[in-house]
Each structure stands twice: as structure tokens, then as C-alpha cells.
């Protein structure tokens, strides 16, 4: 795998992004993620590569038979800029490690709020899902109202700071679900695949699905092409 992926940043939503900070094994070691998994599986007899065909076959065998611990030997560390509505769901995945930007320490910026392109309508058949979108006139009206709401909230935040209120309290004026936060997150490939299975699914909320898709397409697939192929075959297609 080339070293180019480290430091690569993919834009997501209107102002969000995902950046690969580091990975294990680091590309400079010359060992690909796929080979790190194969090598871990062969640890009992200190195996290294037995040729591409056998190595790939072993990796597929592992995932097909749910022998998942070798996939925990490869890790990704990302920096992610996402609105709180996304973090609210992401943080439920206990197998990730997280460190969040402190809103008690770093002041928020005026532009750091999520403005959706389209306003999706409430789904009829699924009470926690959306489907379709409102007409374009309503869309423009709601976006205008949302921006007004952000401006009012941010003005109150600044006013509170100006009179000496702490950042940790002034942020009560910010529109909660839409404020962007930067987090550093780390996960191994076994648990990443579990996350992707749940969060790339059609019933996942759009605001987390786009992050899951970005991680899959921009990082997992190019870094671990055999694992991505096996993931599509044995995990994405399974119920």
C-alpha cells in the first residue's frame, strides 16, 4: 500500500471531512493491511506470505468462518469533522476509541453549523427514517430559517462570552445537533466492518451514512483491497 493515504482528507456533507492520521501497520513498514491479517492468522507457525493466491484465499476463509481476531491486528486512526447529530450515533459504537474537541476550551466559529442540502420528509412506514424531500420552495424557506436560527444562537453565544460567561456554559446557546465538532477516532478493522455494515445500510441516517461510505471508499478499500472484497461478499450481503 502506498503511503499516500496517510494525511488524505475526504470532504463529507457541507463542511465535514474525514482525514486518515495513521494506520497499523504503517505503510512505511512495507506490510499491507491485508498481509498483516494473513500474518496474524499464521502466527502459530510463524507464517509469512505463501504467495498471493494462498494468502488471499486464507483471508477469505477467515472472514467467511467468522475468525475475526486477525482483523483486529489492523487499525485506522482518523480525524473527523462532523455535526453532533452524526456523533450522537457514532459514539454508540463502544469498540471505537474517541477523543473529542473540547467546547469548554476551544471557542466555536460562526460558520461551524451543518446546513443540509435538502430537507427529507418523515417516512411513513418507519418512524425513525426519512424518505423523499420537501418541495423546492419549502426547502429554501427552511434553510433560510435554519441559518437565521444559527445566527441568533451564535450571537447569544458571543454575547454570553463577552460578559464573561465561560465557554462551557455559553455553548448552551448553540443549536446542539447541528454544531460541528472535530474528534480523533481509532478502530480496528473487525469493528470497523461491523460499524460499516450498520451505518452504510439504507436504514442508517444520511448524516452518518455519508461518513461510513467515505471511510469505506476512500480508506478501507484502497488500503485493504482483499478485506474489502471479502467484506462485500460475507458481511455486506449477509442479514
Region near ligand FAD per CB under 6 A, out of 5-13, 20-28, 86-94, 173-181: 86-94
For residue 6, count CB atoms less than 10 angstroms from its CB and return exposed for 0-12, middle for 13-18, buried for 19 or more: middle
* Catalytic site residue from 9, 120, 199, 209: 199
**Residue 131 in contact with ligand FAD, rule: CB under 6 A:** no
For residues 22 and 78, give the distance between their C-alpha atoms in angstroms, rounded to a whole number. Answer: 7
How would you classify the pairing of strands 120-122 and 180-188? Answer: unpaired
Site map (CB under 6 A) of ligand FAD, residues 42-81, x = contact: ----------------------------------------
Whole-number Å distance between alpha carbons of 194 and 75: 14
Stretch that binds ligand FAD, among 79-87, 105-113, 191-199, 231-239 (CB under 6 A): 191-199
Among 49, 95, 99, 111, binds ligand FAD (CB under 6 A): 95
**C-beta of 2: minimal distance to ligand FAD in Å?**
29
Where does this chain touch ligand FAD (CB under 6 A) — which range of 9-17, 93-101, 134-142, 212-220? 93-101
Phi first, then psi: give them for residue 126, nearest 5 degrees.
-125, 115
Counting every residue written for the chain, the total comes to 239
Give catalytic status of residue 199 as yes or no. yes
**Terminal C-alpha separation, the chain:** 31
Asked if 231 and 196 touch (Cβ cutoff 8 Å), the reply is yes
3-state secondary structure of 129: coil
Name the helix (H) or strand (E) containing 90: helix 84-90
Instruction: Give the shortest CB-109-to-ligand FAD separation in angstroms.
Output: 30
Sole binder of ligand FAD in the list 52, 131, 144, 203 (CB under 6 A) = 203
Active site residues: 199
Chain residues in the site for ligand FAD (CB under 6 A) = 92-95, 191, 194, 198, 203-204
Amino acid at each position: 500500500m502506498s503511503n499516500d493515504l496517510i494525511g488524505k482528507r475526504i470532504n463529507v456533507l457541507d463542511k465535514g471531512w474525514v482525514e486518515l492520521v495513521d494506520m497499523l501497520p504503517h505503510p512505511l513498514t512495507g506490510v499491507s493491511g491485508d498481509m498483516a491479517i494473513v500474518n496474524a492468522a499464521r502466527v502459530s507457525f510463524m507464517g509469512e506470505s505463501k504467495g498471493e493466491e494462498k494468502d488471499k484465499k486464507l483471508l477469505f476463509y477467515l472472514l467467511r468462518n467468522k475468525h475475526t481476531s486477525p482483523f483486529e491486528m489492523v487499525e485506522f486512526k482518523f480525524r473527523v469533522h462532523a455535526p453532533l447529530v452524526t456523533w450522537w450515533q457514532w459514539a454508540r459504537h463502544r469498540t471505537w476509541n474517541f477523543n473529542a474537541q473540547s467546547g469548554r476550551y476551544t471557542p466555536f466559529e460562526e460558520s461551524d453549523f451543518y446546513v443540509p442540502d435538502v430537507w427529507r420528509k418523515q417516512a411513513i412506514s418507519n418512524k425513525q427514517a426519512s424518505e423523499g424531500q420537501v418541495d423546492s420552495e419549502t426547502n429554501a424557506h427552511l434553510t433560510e430559517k435554519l441559518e437565521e436560527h444559527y445566527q441568533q444562537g451564535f450571537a447569544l453565544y458571543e454575547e454570553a462570552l463577552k460578559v464573561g460567561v465561560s465557554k462551557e456554559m455559553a455553548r448552551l446557546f448553540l443549536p446542539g445537533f447541528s454544531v460541528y465538532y472535530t474528534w480523533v477516532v481509532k478502530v480496528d478493522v473487525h469493528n470497523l466492518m461491523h460499524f460499516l455494515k450498520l451505518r452504510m445500510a439504507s436504514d442508517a441516517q444520511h448524516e452518518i451514512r455519508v461518513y461510513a461510505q467515505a471511510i469505506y471508499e476512500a480508506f478501507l478499500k484502497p488500503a485493504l483491497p482483499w478485506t474489502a472484497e471479502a467484506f462485500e461478499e460475507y458481511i455486506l450481503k449477509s442479514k
